[in-house]
Chains A and B, each alone.
Chain A
Amino acid sequence: MLALARVSKTYPNGVQALARFSAEIRQGEIIAIIGGSGCGKSTLLRAIAGLDRASSGTVTLDSEAIASPHAKIGIIFQEPRLLPWLSVADNIGFGLADLPATERREKVARALERVDLADKAQAWPRELSGGQAQRVAIARALVPQPEVLLLDEPFSALDAFTRRDLQDHLLDLWADTRPTLILVTHDVDEAVVLADRVLVMRPRPGRLFDQIEINLGRPRDRNSLLFENFKRSVLTSLDRSLDRSVPDRDATQGPGQAMWW
């Protein structure tokens, strides 16, 4: 289980990006974090990844505190960030340097099959399309079999068709080892397609505003009425989060419970 306890982040220039964010995320759960710009969603993700240290509060994975990048936590960025001097296969195997060569090759070959890029194994990253490059990035992050995979708006730079294709592809890959997925997005559609639970954040300072369980089976039909309903409730919550007249409530406590302050 991944536990976030009152995680706050204040930058040296005094801007508070994140205020007392708490959440508990079960192993294998898919979480989408959504919110207006400047709501601290990327800050939160970088704190979980151990790339930036939180100013206060703790991130713990299975009761182990996370302060620096951890072997069990992988991350996929908005850009593929492939290393241009390595072939596609070597990029995917980048995190497996400690393994013996034969085992590494096997794992890489399997991963290449899984993302349908076996024919691109020896290609340079520059020869890939945007969608292919992001698939390599996904394979690179998944190949060390992380328990938690963080995704920072991973499909936002892609066109609508490729994005849809990759969302389905991601779910397909997720089913292999069922890592916890935490996906930052600004796309309501994407959040509802992928997530078990959508966390809505509110800006200035970034904090948790609401959470919505998406009780839909998989695979999800993007055109069903039920899907539309969930999308609408996420959108409504998002609108309310941006409306300054709506007060905060403690989302982690659920409705009907007293606020602790």
Chain B
Amino acid sequence: MISDAPALQRSSEPAESAVAPSRLSRYVRPALGLLLPVTLALGWELVVWLGWSNGRLVPPPSRIFATITELARSGELVRHIAATLWRVGLGFAFGVIAGTLLGAISGYWSLARRLLDPTVQALRAIPSLAWVPLFILWLGIFETSKIALIAVGVFFPVYLGVMGAILSVDRKVVEVGRVFRLSGFAMIRRILLPAVLPAYVVSLRVGLGLGWMFVVAAELIGASEGLGYLLLDGQQLGKPAQILAAIVIFAILGKLTDWLIEVAAAPFLRWQDAFGRAKGA
């Protein structure tokens, strides 16, 4: 809609000239997305309530909710969530540190990229779950191997994101730094870092998503606590409501942590065209 504005209005703010969405469409559009899941949930609730199905294998929402509150009341839920969050947090931290360092080195020095990148790419081609037996042999069945697996999952998207972002920094912007005679360190701090930040945040979010994926795998393999353990326990004891409860909590935690990254990064990315503006439209 910006391009529709007459050319002579150049000096006016393009954002302001855009027609503000009406209140109706602002609230109705997200609500449309909720229509299907809510209808299905209520429908299933009704079916079970009417006795048309016993809901044993597919428990209705009320029973899932009851399972969650029950777990919460006994303190079990907090213990499992804490265990999982701890693993994801540590694995994510290690993965991000390693991915950022190596990605930055590969992006910045072409010699390091030639030495390092082929190996990393080859390792990336290995399905990460294939490491599980080796990690268990090396690091034991307990926390270390789980955290290592999560870190491996987080490492690759962060490494690729950082390296790619550095390689694609606009040469013209770097030249501005050269014109103002920025030294190596000042060039990194004042030009490269801010230029790389948007892509870095994206890679962190992708990495976090993979971290959540791998924590499930790690906890399914062998754990005595954690949300993944709840999944396995629910399967073995035939408690589908517990499995679905764990899945719901995974969804909530995943979305929440992703949102945390987004919120933490937002003040640094206000300058971007896409941020905030796209949401208003």
A interface residues, Cβ below 8 angstroms from B: 49, 51, 68-71, 74-75, 77, 79, 81, 83-86, 94-95, 97, 124-127, 129-132, 159, 162
Q: Provided the pairs A81-B173, A124-B271 are in contact, do residues A49 and B179 lie with their beta carbons within 8 angstroms?
A: yes
Q: Provided the pairs A77-B172, A129-B11, A130-B10 are in contact, do residues A85 and B271 lie with their beta carbons within 8 angstroms?
A: yes
Q: Provided the pairs A81-B175, A83-B176 are in contact, do residues A69 and B181 lie with their beta carbons within 8 angstroms?
A: yes
Q: How many residues of B contact A (CB 8 A)?
A: 24
Q: Are A69 and B11 in contact (CB under 8 A)?
A: no
- Say yes or no for B93: interface residue by CB 8 A criterion: no
Q: Which chain B residues border A71 with CB–CB below 8 Å?
A: 181
Q: Are A69 and B176 in contact (CB under 8 A)?
A: no
- Chain B nearest CB from A169 CB (Å) reads 15
* Neighbour of A69 across the interface among B13, B178, B271, B272, CB < 8 A: B178
Q: Are A85 and B180 in contact (CB under 8 A)?
A: no
- Say yes or no for B273: interface residue by CB 8 A criterion: yes
24 contacts between A and B (CB under 8 A): A51-B178, A68-B181, A69-B178, A69-B179, A70-B181, A75-B179, A79-B172, A81-B175, A83-B173, A83-B176, A84-B271, A84-B272, A85-B194, A85-B197, A94-B176, A97-B190, A124-B270, A126-B271, A126-B273, A129-B10, A129-B11, A131-B10, A132-B11, A162-B10
Q: Which residue of B lies closest to A75 (CB)?
A: B179
B interface residues, Cβ below 8 angstroms from A: 7, 10-11, 13, 15, 172-173, 175-176, 178-181, 186, 190-191, 194-195, 197, 268, 270-273
Q: Which chain A residues border B272 with CB–CB below 8 Å?
A: 84
Q: Provided the pairs A71-B181, A83-B194, A85-B194 are in contact, do residues A127 and B175 lie with their beta carbons within 8 angstroms?
A: no
Q: Are A74 and B179 in contact (CB under 8 A)?
A: yes
Report the bound CA distance from A208 to B271 in whole Å.
44
Report the bound CA distance from A111 to B243 in whole Å.
64
Q: Which chain B residues border A162 with CB–CB below 8 Å?
A: 10
Q: Provided the pairs A71-B181, A124-B271, A126-B271 are in contact, do residues A81 and B176 lie with their beta carbons within 8 angstroms?
A: yes
Q: Which residue of A lies closest to B170 (CB)?
A: A81
Q: Provided the pairs A74-B179, A81-B173, A83-B173 are in contact, do residues A127 and B13 lie with their beta carbons within 8 angstroms?
A: yes
Q: Which chain A residues border B10 with CB–CB below 8 Å?
A: 129-131, 162
Report the bound CA distance from A127 to B16 in whole Å.
11
Q: Which chain A residues border B195 with CB–CB below 8 Å?
A: 85
- Chain A nearest CB from B170 CB (Å) reads 9
Q: Which chain A residues border B179 with CB–CB below 8 Å?
A: 49, 51, 69, 74-75
Closest 8 CB pairs of A and B: A129-B10, A85-B194, A85-B271, A95-B180, A124-B271, A69-B181, A81-B176, A69-B179
Report the bound CA distance from A170 to B15 in whole Å.
29
Q: Which residue of A lies closest to B277 (CB)?
A: A126
Q: Which residue of B lies closest to A150 (CB)?
A: B179
Report the bound CA distance from A73 to B195 in whole Å.
25
- Chain A nearest CB from B245 CB (Å) reads 43
Report the bound CA distance from A131 to B277 in whole Å.
23
Given contacts A83-B173, A125-B271, 12 further A-B contacts (CB under 8 A): A49-B179, A51-B179, A68-B181, A74-B179, A77-B175, A81-B172, A81-B176, A85-B195, A85-B268, A94-B180, A130-B10, A132-B11
Q: Which residue of B lies closest to A70 (CB)?
A: B181
Q: Which chain A residues border B273 with CB–CB below 8 Å?
A: 126
- Chain B nearest CB from A152 CB (Å) reads 11
Q: Which residue of B lies closest to A129 (CB)?
A: B10
Q: Which residue of A lies closest to B193 (CB)?
A: A85
Report the bound CA distance from A55 to B42 in whole Å.
77
Report the bound CA distance from A125 to B176 in whole Å.
15
Report the bound CA distance from A85 to B176 in whole Å.
14
Q: Which residue of A lies closest to B182 (CB)?
A: A97
Q: Are B191 and A83 in contact (CB under 8 A)?
A: yes
- Chain A nearest CB from B164 CB (Å) reads 19
Report the bound CA distance from A125 to B272 in whole Å.
10
Q: Which chain B residues border A159 with CB–CB below 8 Å?
A: 7
Report the bound CA distance from A227 to B175 in whole Å.
37
Report the bound CA distance from A83 to B7 in whole Å.
25
Q: Are B172 and A69 in contact (CB under 8 A)?
A: no
- Chain B nearest CB from A38 CB (Å) reads 21
